[in-house]
Amino acid sequence: MRCSNCGEPIEEGRLFCLNCGQEVQWVPDYDSFGDYMVQEKLKKEKEQAEAAAARKRAAIAAENRRRKKAKKKRMILVSVAGVLVLVAAGLFFKLGMDKKNYNDFDYQIRMADTAFSNHKYEESYKFVERAVSLDDSDVDAKLLLAQVQVKLEKTDQAIKTLQDAIRLEPDNQSAYNQLIKIYMENDQPDEVKNLLDSCDNDDILNKFSAYISKNPVFSLPEGSYDEPKTLSLYSKEDEDQIYYTNDGTDPTSSSNLYTDSIALKEGQTIIKAVTVNKKGITSDIVSKTYTIAYEAPDPPQISPSSGSFTTDMDTNIYIIVPKGCRAYYAFDKKPTIADELYQEDQPVKMLKGTHTFYAILVDEHNKVSSPGSAIYKLTEAK
């Protein structure tokens, strides 16, 4: 082959001319046009074969993809069916377990307690209510139910639940504690009193002694007296307050507040008193009846005693008047307070002739004595 630039021969395999440095372009030589056609035919057949092979490979790849997709679809369907079978089995098992648990008291209590601890009160209520329906005699279940009812503001229901618990176990301190707490929080101290009044368990009463108000103490035994009396009332706790009435009605915290002794008036007086402790809980009402019936004074003493007198003798009449009394007098009739009032510094003069002198005493309570009397005969001195 010669260089296309300078014409110098170039050895086969050289990439450039040694004479001028021209780059050599190697092109296969063809001996004839026939050879060229043969080569072109072979080339075309080769390209067609390669295209057919490519198409075959593409078809095979597409078939493989189709088969793989179909296989995947079958696997998905099998998996879904398996899952459905498992779900169905699970549901069947769960339904069986739910049915079993629905009638299992311990399970219901356990679930209720867990829900309550997590502040899921509606959920807890559902479980504990079922537990109580399974065993209405279980006090612990009722105590939990009452706590849930309080959280859900079902106060009336909680009270009834705790009352049932106390009926079942009269010595259950927790039931009393919960119920008293509800009553106090809802401003129902009278219900606390009623609850503890109906309790005959000493341990319970000692436990909740702070909620028991002691009865007031009366300084004077009830009964009849013939002289003025005053009554004092006492409470056993310094912080307690005493309220009373003197008209026979039951006392309340709106009645007379006791601050000083009570003067008992003549006649019958009914004093009723109640103690209210610092928690606002009342004691029992204590009632006592007092009768003040003053006795009339004795008939007055008259001086001189009955006798005959002359005008030259001392003819003055004296009445002995006790302290606190006053005297009235009259001649020849029994006196009243409308007659003459006796003055101690003004003795009464006897009347001439024979006359009966009468006198009465009236004490500070206006009690009138029976009359005293003396008969005097006064004549002229000879």
- Predicted local confidence at residue 311, as pLDDT: 94
Would you state the structure tokens that stand for residue 281, as one six-digit string? 């809980």
pTM: 0.61
Question: Beta-carbon neighbour count of residue 285 at 10 Å?
Answer: 17
Quote the tokens at residue 238: 């310094």
Q: What is the 3 state secondary structure string of 221-268?
A: CCEEECCCEEECEECCCCCCEEEEECCCCCCCCCCEECCCCEEECCEE
pLDDT of residue 80: 73
pLDDT of residue 29: 45
- CA separation (Å) from 277 to 95, 173, 239, 274? 58, 22, 7, 10
CB 286 within 8 A of CB 236: no
Six-digit token string for 212: 């028991």
E strands within the chain? 217-218, 223-225, 229-231, 233-234, 241-245, 256-257, 262-264, 267-276, 286-292, 301-303, 307-310, 316-320, 326-331, 340-341, 348-349, 353-362, 372-379
Q: How many helices (H) and strands (E) does the chain have?
A: 8, 17
Q: What is the DSSP string of 99-162?
A: HHHHT-HHHHHHHHHHHHHTT-HHHHHHHHHHHHHH-TT-HHHHHHHHHHHHHTT-HHHHHHHH
- Residue 235 phi, psi dihedral angles, 5° rounding: -115, 150
CA-nearest of 352, 147, 13, 21 to 3 is 21
Q: What is the pLDDT of residue 28?
A: 46
Rounded CA-CA distance 18/36 in Å is 31
Collapsed DSSP state (helix, strand, coil) of residue 341: strand
Do the Cβ atoms of 46 and 39 come closer than 8 Å? no
Q: What pLDDT shows up at residue 21? A: 60
Q: Residue 73's pLDDT is what?
A: 80
Return d(Cα 89, Cα 59) in angstroms, integer. Answer: 44
pLDDT of residue 30: 43
Give the residues of the chain that fall short of pLDDT 70: 1, 10-38, 81-82, 85, 87-99
